[in-house]
Amino acid sequence: MTDAKEAVLAAAKLAKNAAPALAIASTETKNKALKAIAQSLIDNLDQIISVNHTDLEKAKNDGVSDYLIDRLMLDEDRIRQISEAVLEVIDIPDPINTEIRSWTQPNGIRIKQVRVPIGVIAMIYEARPNVTVDSAALCLKSGNVAFLRGSSNGDATNELFVQLMRSAVVSAGLPADCIVKAPGTTHAAVEHILKARGLVDLVIPRGGAALIENVVTNSIIPVIETGIGNCHIYIDANCDVDMAVNLVVNSKTQRVSVCNAAETMLVHKDAANKVLPKLLEALKAKGVTLHADKQMAKFAKDAGINYADVLEEDWHAEYYSLDIAAGIVDSFDAALSHIRKYSTEHTELIITNDPVNAARFTNELDSAVLLVNASTRFTDGGEFGFGAEIGISTQKLHARGPMGLVELTSYKYIVTGDGQVRS
């Protein structure tokens, strides 16, 4: 056994050993720990920013892309937002031991189904140090041990966050190992986590397509896929022009480095003349570049917006930049067909005044989140009222869409009798 493997398994054992105590911790104790975590972030603002600056400089020197730099960067405002998100989790009802359903069989035995923690959840993620705190907070409140493995680019920031959180949970009377940072910054260390069956109960990857594909392909532990977001906007023939402009601009440009930013825009041919002049002017002002089909290119040229001819790969792209694939479709059904072909089943938006088309859009497409006349940026655990989110699941089993506390639970059956035996 290699030293790296031994280190990962030793850390996973610490996490596993802490799981029973956390699983039975009271809501009051868990909330006390969360409050201590939130306050610790505020008390150590300057240190966090200083350490994060070191990570940022290293990432820039390593040639890390601008969108990942943006995700990695922490300032006072972002740290306060992370702290506030932790406090929001306190106000969310504790799902553990809540009754899902109950019934009595004809023979008199009483059966109750209740929520329980999953156990040890390994989070494997890129860049974003806020995931370190968000994941730990949601895991803690749902009674799960957080086994955290961020990318090497944010290692120093993640290390500090984990140290602060471990001290905070101890102050609340919980084991420090309720939150464990997985050792190692190499790809090999990740492979050891994915093979730690019996110690880790669930793996949740958050990051780019390559990371998620690696985890899904190589894990022998159950995985929840998250995050790849080729999110589509379809502007229907019957729509409000000002609404369309506002929604597209917000969905695409409000923050480009996130998975719920829009990456493809489709416009019905009958809406093009009334919507595109104003819309493209607004996107031009934001510095957006279109990857346009032939019909869209004509409008792009007239508007003077930067554009390139769309390639097949553009329809698949998750840009993480001020780029958007754009096309004009001949019909509502053509839009649906396009989305079905290229969607990553994350988030799709229709902008329409037609209730029939709105209903068809939400009924006939099968992405995790389908929006009618609201920005794609609302696909988010916080915006859904879940508090800090563990991720956005694009699969169909167990959890789908933004995942909050309930999605981090399993269940067990409690059966009570009066001496019944099976005949």
**Can you spell out the DSSP letters for 62-127?**
TT--HHHHHHH---HHHHHHHHHHHHHHHHSPP-TT-EEEEEE-TTS-EEEEEEEE--EEEEEE-S
- Mean local confidence (pLDDT), 208-224: 92
Query: Does the pLDDT of residue 324 top 80, yes or no?
Result: yes
pLDDT in tens, 42-58: 999 999 999 999 999 99
- Mean local confidence (pLDDT), 299-315: 97
pLDDT higher at 103 or 187: 103
Residue 220 shares a structural domain with residue 244:
no
- Domain membership of residue 309 (yes or no) is yes
Q: What is the CATH number of the domain that holds 210?
A: 3.40.605.10
Question: Which of 87-91, 246-250, 304-308, 394-398 has the weakest average pLDDT?
Answer: 394-398
What was the pLDDT predicted at 233?
A: 98
Q: Mind giving me the DSSP string for 8-54?
A: HHHHHHHHHHHHHHHHT--HHHHHHHHHHHHHHHHHTHHHHHHHHHH
Residue 73 shares a structural domain with residue 167:
yes
CB 123 within 8 A of CB 204: yes
Residue 286 shares a structural domain with residue 359:
yes
Q: Which domain holds residue 188?
A: 3-225+395-416
Question: Which of 175-184, 240-249, 286-295, 387-396 has the weakest average pLDDT?
Answer: 387-396
CB 220 within 8 A of CB 196: no
Residue 238 shares a structural domain with residue 180:
no
What was the pLDDT predicted at 210?
A: 87
Query: What is the β-pairing status of strands 391-393 and 289-292?
Result: unpaired
Q: 320: how many CB neighbours lie within 10 A of its CB?
A: 20
- Domain membership of residue 160 (yes or no) is yes
Q: Which amino acid is at 97?
A: N
Q: Please give the backbone phi and psi of residue 139, each rounded to the nearest 5 degrees, phi first.
A: -60, -45
Strands (E), 303-374: 307-309, 323-329, 347-351, 369-372
- Domain membership of residue 390 (yes or no) is no
Q: Calculate what percentage of the chain has a pLDDT beyond 70.
A: 99
Q: What is the CATH number of the domain that holds 267?
A: 3.40.309.10
Give the gyration radius of the chain's Cα atoms.
24
- pTM for the model stands at 0.86
3-state secondary structure at position 140: helix
What was the pLDDT predicted at 43?
A: 98
Q: 342: how many CB neighbours lie within 10 A of its CB?
A: 17
Q: How many domains does the chain contain in total?
A: 2
In this prediction, residue 388 has a pLDDT band, given cuts at 50, 70 and 90, of low
- Domain membership of residue 149 (yes or no) is yes
Residue 146 shares a structural domain with residue 206:
yes
Query: Does the pLDDT of residue 1 top 70, yes or no?
Result: no
What was the pLDDT predicted at 225?
A: 85
Quote the CA–CA distance of 15 and 93 in Å, as a whole number: 24
- Domain membership of residue 422 (yes or no) is no
Closest CA to 223 of 206, 246, 244: 206
- Domain membership of residue 248 (yes or no) is yes
Q: Which residues of 55-77 are buried (b: 16+ CB within 10 A; e: fewer)?
A: bbebbeeeebeebbbebbbbeee
Quote the CA–CA distance of 288 and 281 in Å, as a whole number: 10
Quote the CA–CA distance of 273 and 9 in Å, as a whole number: 61
Residue 241 shares a structural domain with residue 268:
yes
In this prediction, residue 396 has a pLDDT band, given cuts at 50, 70 and 90, of confident
Question: Which of 145-159, 220-234, 261-275, 332-346 has the weakest average pLDDT?
Answer: 220-234
Quote the CA–CA distance of 408 and 108 in Å, as a whole number: 32
CB 417 within 8 A of CB 130: no
In this prediction, residue 228 has a pLDDT band, given cuts at 50, 70 and 90, of confident
Residue 106 shares a structural domain with residue 189:
yes
Question: Which of 62-71, 73-82, 294-303, 313-322 has the weakest average pLDDT?
Answer: 62-71
- Domain membership of residue 386 (yes or no) is no
Contacts of 168 (CB under 8 A, 6+ apart): 33, 36, 37, 39, 40
Q: 102: how many CB neighbours lie within 10 A of its CB?
A: 13
Quote the CA–CA distance of 40 and 329 in Å, as a whole number: 52
What was the pLDDT predicted at 208?
A: 79
- Mean local confidence (pLDDT), 253-266: 94
Residue 251 shares a structural domain with residue 400:
no
Residue 285 shares a structural domain with residue 409:
no
What was the pLDDT predicted at 31?
A: 98
Residue 312 shares a structural domain with residue 165:
no
- Mean local confidence (pLDDT), 141-163: 96
Query: Does the pLDDT of residue 389 top 80, yes or no?
Result: no
Query: Does the pLDDT of residue 381 top 70, yes or no?
Result: yes
- Domain membership of residue 57 (yes or no) is yes
Q: 309: how many CB neighbours lie within 10 A of its CB?
A: 12
Q: Provide the total of helices (H) and of strands (E) in the chain, helices listed first.
A: 15, 16
CB 134 within 8 A of CB 389: yes
- Mean local confidence (pLDDT), 252-281: 96
Residue 344 shares a structural domain with residue 305:
yes
> What mean pLDDT, rounded, does the chain reach?
95
Closest CA to 145 of 166, 174, 120, 176: 120
- Mean local confidence (pLDDT), 340-350: 96
Residue 354 shares a structural domain with residue 280:
yes
- Mean local confidence (pLDDT), 331-336: 98
In this prediction, residue 387 has a pLDDT band, given cuts at 50, 70 and 90, of low
Question: Which of 90-104, 122-136, 137-151, 378-392 has the weakest average pLDDT?
Answer: 378-392
